[in-house]
Chains A and B, each alone.
Chain A
Amino acid sequence: MTIKRLDPVSGHLLLFLIILLSFCRLFPLILMKRLLALGIFSAMVLSACQPATGDTIKLGYIGPVTGDAAALGKDMLHGVQMAIEEANAKGGVNGTKVELVAEDGRCNGTDGASAAQKLVNIDRVIAIVGGLCSSETLAASPIAEAGKVVLLSPGSSSPAITTEAGDFVFRNYPSDALKAVAMAKYVKQKGYKKIAIISENTDYCTGLRDAVVKQVGAAGFVFNEAVEPGTKDFRTLFTRLQKMDFDAFITNANSDGIIAVMVQQFREQGFTQPIIGADTADSQVVVDTGAAAQGMQIINVPTAGEGKAFEKTFTDAFGKPQSSIAWGAYAYDAANILLKAVADAGADGTAMKDALYKMTYTGIVGTIHFDKYGDPVGIPYVVKEIKDGKIVTVQDLPIN
Chain B
Amino acid sequence: MQLLINALIAGSFAALLAGGLALVYGVLGVFNLALGQSVLFGGYITWWLTQVAGWPILPAIAGGILSGALLAWFTFEVFIAPFYKHHRFLPLVTTIAWSMILDGIILLLFEERARSILPGTRRLIRLGAAHITVQQIVLIVVTLLLLCIVAWVLHSTSFGRRIRAVAEHPQAALSLGIPSPVLHRILFIVSGILAAAGGIFLGIDQNLSPAFSFPLTIRAYAAIIAGGKGNIWGAIICAYAIALLEQLVVGVHWFGFFYVPAGFQATIALLVIIVFLIVRPQGLFSSGRRTA
Q: Which residues on A are within 8 Å of B, measured CB to CB?
A: 30-31, 34-35, 37-38, 65-68, 70-71, 73-74, 198, 201, 225-228, 230-233, 235-237, 239-240, 242, 255-257, 260-261, 264, 268-270, 284-285, 288-292, 322-323
CA A375 to CA B210, docked complex, whole Å: 33
A235 and B133 contacting across the interface, CB-CB below 8 Å:
no
CB contacts (< 8 Å) of A201 on chain B: these are: 263
Once the chains bind, are A289 and B131 in contact (CB under 8 Å)?
A: no
| B214 smallest CB distance to A (angstroms) | 7
A-side contacts of B259, CB under 8 Å: 240
User: Which of chain B's residues 220-258 have a Cβ closer than 8 Å to chain A?
Assistant: 246-247, 250-251, 253
Given A230-B215, A239-B251, A31-B111 contact (CB < 8 Å): no
B3 and A68 within 8 A (CB): no
**Chain B residues with Cβ under 8 A from A225's Cβ?**
261-262
Chain A neighbourhood of B10, CB < 8 A: 233, 235
How long is the Cα–Cα vector from A228 to B267 in the complex, in angstroms? 10
Q: Which 3 A-B pairs have the closest CB atoms?
A: A257-B114, A70-B112, A290-B120
Q: Which residues does chain B contribute within 8 Å of A291, judged by CB atoms?
A: 120-121
Contact of B265 among A67, A236, A257 (CB under 8 A): A236
In the complex, B143 has a CB within 8 A of chain A: no
* Distance of B33 from chain A, by nearest CB (Å): 8
B5, B112, B246 interface centre (most CB from chain A within 10 Å): B112
Contact A30/B96 with A228-B265, A236-B247 known, Cβ cut-off 8 Å: yes
Q: Footprint of A on B, CB under 8 Å?
A: 2-3, 5-6, 9-10, 96, 99-100, 103-104, 107, 111-114, 116, 119-122, 124, 126, 129, 131, 133, 206-207, 209-212, 214-215, 246-247, 250-251, 253, 259, 261-263, 265-266
Q: Which B residues are CB-close (under 8 A) to A30?
A: 96
A268 cross-chain contacts in B, Cβ below 8 A:
122, 124, 131, 133
Shortest Cβ distance from residue B209 to the other chain A in the assembled complex, whole angstroms: 4
B120 A237 Cβ-Cβ under 8 A: no
**Cross-interface CB contact of A67 among B5, B111, B211, B250, cutoff 8 Å:** B211
**Residues in B neighbouring A256, C-beta threshold 8 A:** 113-114
Distance of A198 Cα from B99 Cα, bound (Å)? 32
Residue in B2, B5, B113, B215 whose CB lies within 8 Å of A257: B113
Known: A201-B263, A230-B211, A236-B262. A269 touches B247 (CB 8 A): no
Assuming A242-B2, A270-B124, is B113 touching A232 (CB within 8 A)? no
Question: Across the two chains, which residue of chain B brings its CB closest to A107?
Answer: B211
| Chain B neighbourhood of A34, CB < 8 A | 96, 99-100, 103
Besides the known contacts A236-B247, A255-B209, A264-B206, 4 further A-B residue pairs in the complex with CB atoms under 8 A apart: A66-B112, A68-B114, A230-B215, A284-B113
Question: Which residues of A have CB within 8 Å of B246?
Answer: 236
> What residues of A have a CB within 8 angstroms of the CB of B96 in the complex?
30-31, 34
Most buried by A among B119, B126, B209, B261: B209
Q: Of A230, A264, A322, which one neighbours B112 at CB under 8 angstroms?
A: A322
Bound complex: CA A198 to CA B100 (Å): 32
28 contacts between A and B (CB under 8 A): A30-B96, A66-B107, A66-B112, A67-B210, A68-B209, A70-B210, A225-B261, A230-B215, A232-B207, A233-B9, A235-B5, A235-B10, A236-B247, A236-B250, A239-B2, A239-B247, A240-B259, A255-B114, A255-B209, A256-B113, A257-B209, A257-B211, A268-B122, A268-B124, A285-B114, A288-B116, A290-B120, A322-B112
Q: B214 to chain A: which residues have CB within 8 Å?
A: 31
Flag if B212 contacts A67 (CB, 8 Å): yes
The 8 Å CB contact of B103, one of A38, A68, A257, A323, is: A38
B131 touches A236 (CB 8 A): no
* Chain B min CB distance to A26 (Å): 14
B197 to chain A, nearest CB (A): 18
Q: How many angstroms between the C-alpha atoms of A37 and B9 in the bound complex?
A: 35
Q: Give the CA-CA distance A296 to B227 in the complex, in Å.
A: 43
Contact, CB under 8 Å: B122 / A285: no
Cα A237 to Cα B103 with chains together (Å) = 31
Residues of B within 8 A of A198 (CB): 262
Residues of A within 8 A of B131 (CB): 268-270
Contacts A201-B263, A268-B122: A236 and B6 contacting too (C-beta < 8 A)? yes
Assess whether A260 is in contact with B251, with CB atoms less than 8 Å apart.
no
- Give the residue of A38, A226, A239, A261 whose beta carbon is less than 8 angstroms from that of B206: A261
Residue numbers in A under 8 Å from B3 (CB-CB): 236, 239
Chain B residues lying within 8 Å of A70, measured Cβ to Cβ, are 107, 112, 210
Given contacts A70-B112, A257-B209, A228 and B266 within 8 Å (CB-CB): yes
Task: Using CB atoms, name the residue of chain A closest to B114.
Answer: A257
Contact partner of A228 among B2, B104, B207, B263, CB < 8 A? B263
Q: A285 CA to B133 CA in the complex, in Å?
A: 21
Bound form: Cα–Cα A74–B214 in Å: 22
Q: Which residues of B contact A264 (CB under 8 A)?
A: 122, 206
A357–B246 alpha-carbon span in the complex (Å): 51
Inter-subunit contact B129/A242 (CB<8 Å)? yes
For the complex formed, measure the closest distance between the CB of B55 and the CB atoms of chain A, giving whole angstroms.
Answer: 19
- A239 and B6 in contact, given A322-B112, A323-B113 (Cβ under 8 angstroms): yes
CA of A288 to CA of B173, assembled, Å: 53
- Beta-carbon contact of A226 and B261 below 8 Å: yes
The CA of A264 and the CA of B246, in the complex, are separated in Å by 21
* CA A226 to CA B266, docked complex, whole Å: 12
Are B266 and A38 interface neighbours, CB within 8 A? no
**Closest chain A residue, CB of each to CB of B1:** A239
Residues of B within 8 A of A261 (CB): 206-207
Q: For B126, give its contact among A66, A74, A270, A292 (CB under 8 Å).
A: A270
Give complex CA distance A228, B210 in Å: 18
How far is B250's CA from A226's CA once the two chains are assembled, in angstroms? 12
Chain B min CB distance to A31 (Å): 7
B207 near A71 with CB under 8 A, answer no
The one of B100, B209, B265 in contact with A231, judged by C-beta atoms closer than 8 angstroms, is B265
**Distance in angstroms between the alpha carbons of A269 and B107 in the assembled complex:** 32
Q: Are A260 and B262 also in contact (CB < 8 A) when A35-B103, A230-B215, A289-B120 are?
A: no
By a CB distance below 8 angstroms, the chain A residues around B262 are 198, 225-227, 231, 236-237
Q: Which B residue sits closest to A256, measured CB to CB?
A: B114
On chain B, the residues within 8 Å of A260 by CB distance are: 114, 116, 207
Closest to A257 in B: B114
| Complex contacts, B129 vs chain A, CB 8 Å | 242
